[in-house]
Amino acid sequence: MTSTVQRPPAPAAPAPAPPEERTGLAGLLGLPAAAVRAIVRSAATTPGRLSVIAVGLVLLSLLTGIVGAFAFQDRKDIIGGLTDHREPLAAAAQQVYRSLSDADATAASAFLSTGTEPPALRERYEVDIAQAGAALAKAAADSGGVAEAAAQVDMLNQQVPVYTGLVETARANNRLGYPAGASYLREASELMRAKILPAAHELYRIDTERLLAEQDEATDIPWLTGVLVLALIAALVATQLYLKRRTNRVLNIGLVVATAAVVLALLWGAVAVVVQSIGVSAGGDSGTRRVDLAVKARIAALQARADETLTLVARGDGGKYEAEFKELAVQLSGQDGNGGYLGELRSVAAEYGATTEVDSAIANAKAWLAAHAKLRENDDNGAYDEAVTLAIDEKAEGSAAAAFFRLDNDLVTAINGGRQAFLDETSAADGALTALAPGFAVLCVIAAAGATMGIRERLMEYR
C-alpha cells in the first residue's frame, strides 16, 4: 500500500491592516491635506475637473460681490460723511476763527466811539462771541479722538472768557473816562492774537486737513475690487474656451449670462467711480479750495481792521499795529492790489465762472486801503477826530468802515458760494453711487448662478 505524504498548506497572508484613523488634533490638522488629495483625485476625470471649476467660479463670484459691495458702500458712506459731518465741522472751526477775529475788530471800533457805545457795534460784538461759542461747541464734539484738536478746544475754552472779561473791564473804565481802559483793551487784543487766534487757526487747520484727507480717500481707486472682477472675467472666459475644446460647442448659455453679468458690474462700477471721483474732486476745487482762500482773505481783513482801529486807540503809540496792518494788506491783496489771497481766489473762481463777488471784493479792498491811507494822513497830521470818523462812521465820505464792511460782505458771499458748490458737487458724486453696492452684489450672485447652471448642463451629459 502506497502512502502519500501531503505538505501542510502554506499559511494565509495576513490581511492588510486598516488605515490608522487619526483622531483629535492630529485628525483636524490632516483634514486640509486629505481635502487636497480628494480634489486632486477628482480632478483626474473630466466631471471632477468641471466640478472643481464650478466651485471655484462660484466662490470667486461671491467673493468679488462681497468685496465690491463693501468697497462701494464704504465710498458712499465716506461721501455722505463729507456733506453731513466733515464739511460742517470744518465750517464750524472757521466760524470760530472768523467770529473771534471780528469780535476783536468790533471791540476796538466800539472803543473809539465818543459818548455812548454804538448799539450796532455792541450787538455785533455780542453776536460774534455767541457764534464763536456755538461753533466751538460743535467743533469740540468731534475733537475727542484727536488730541491735537482737543488741546486747541481746551485753550479756547479757557482763554475766551478771560478775553471777554478784559474787554468788559476796558469798557467800564472807558465809560468812566479812565485812561486805563485803553490799556485793558490792548491787553485783551494781545491775548486774542497771542493765544486765542493761533489756537482757533490750528483747530481750523486740523479740521480742514481731515476734510481734505477724506476727500482723497473718496477718490481712491478700489484696486482689490478691480483685480477680482478682472480675474473673474478671465476665469469665465477660460472656462468657456475649455468647454469649447472638450465639447465642440461654441456657447454655454449659463456661462455667457455669468460673463455678461460680471461685465455689466465692471462697467457700472467703473463709470460710477469715475463720475463720483470727478464730482468729489470738483467739490474740492470749486468748493473747499475757494472757501479756504476766502476764509484766509477774510481773516486777514478782520485782523487788519483790528490793527487799524487799535492804532487810533493807542494815540501815537500804535506803530506796531500799523506795521502789522501793512503786512496783512499785502497778504490780502498783494503789493498792487490784485494779488495775495484775493488774487488767488479770483484765479480759482474764474475756472468756475464765479468771479462776481471776488471782483467786488478786490475793488472794495482797494477802496478800503485808499481810505486807510487818508485816515493815517489825518491822524499823522493831528486831525485825530477826522481819522476816527473815517475809521468808524460808515456814512462819512471815503469811510474806511464802509469800504471794509462791503469787503467783508463780499467775502461772506464768496465763502457761502464755495460751500454751496462743495455741497452740490459732492451730492452729485454721492448720487453716482446710488444702488451700486447692492446692484454689484446681485450681479455677482447672478454670475455665480449662471456658472453653476452652465457647468451643471455639461455634468449631466456624463450621467
Which of 112-116, 286-290, 391-395 is predicted with the least confidence, judged by mean pLDDT?
112-116
Predicted confidence (pLDDT) per residue in 382-413, tens digit: 888 888 888 888 888 888 888 998 999 999 99
Which of 30-34, 47-51, 354-358, 389-393 is predicted with the least confidence, judged by mean pLDDT?
30-34
| Residue with the three cell numbers 455689466 | 264
Q: Model confidence at 1, in pLDDT bands (50, 70, 90)?
A: very low
Q: What's the confidence (pLDDT) of residue 3? A: 47
Q: What's the confidence (pLDDT) of residue 312? A: 85
Is 321 within 8 Å of 311 (Cβ atoms)?
yes
CA–CA gap between residue 104 and residue 107 (Å, rounded): 5
7 phi, psi to nearest 5 deg:
-75, 140
Of 163, 220, 216, 222, which is closest to residue 193 (Cα–Cα)?
A: 163
Mean pLDDT, rounded, of the chain: 83
Does 439 have pLDDT greater than 90? yes
Q: What's the confidence (pLDDT) of residue 193? A: 85
Which position has the higher pLDDT, 6 or 156? 156
CA–CA gap between residue 330 and residue 333 (Å, rounded): 5
Is 287 within 8 Å of 414 (Cβ atoms)?
no
342-361: average pLDDT:
87
Does 5 have pLDDT greater than 70? no
Q: Model confidence at 18, in pLDDT bands (50, 70, 90)?
A: low
Return the C-alpha cell found at 172. 467800564
Of 303, 290, 295, which is closest to residue 330 (Cα–Cα)?
A: 303
Encoded amino acid at 308, one letter: E
Q: pTM to 2 decimals? A: 0.76
Predicted confidence (pLDDT) per residue in 19-44, tens digit: 555 555 555 555 555 555 555 555 55
Predicted confidence (pLDDT) per residue in 126-140, tens digit: 999 999 999 998 888
Is 156 within 8 Å of 196 (Cβ atoms)?
yes
Does 12 have pLDDT greater than 70? no
Does 15 have pLDDT greater than 60? no
**Domain ranges across the chain:** 47-460
Which position has the higher pLDDT, 459 or 68? 68
Q: Model confidence at 2, in pLDDT bands (50, 70, 90)?
A: very low
317-339: average pLDDT:
87
CA–CA gap between residue 385 and residue 117 (Å, rounded): 16
> Treating both helix axes as pointing N-terminal to C-terminal, what angle do 180-191 and 87-112 enclose, rounded to 10 degrees?
160
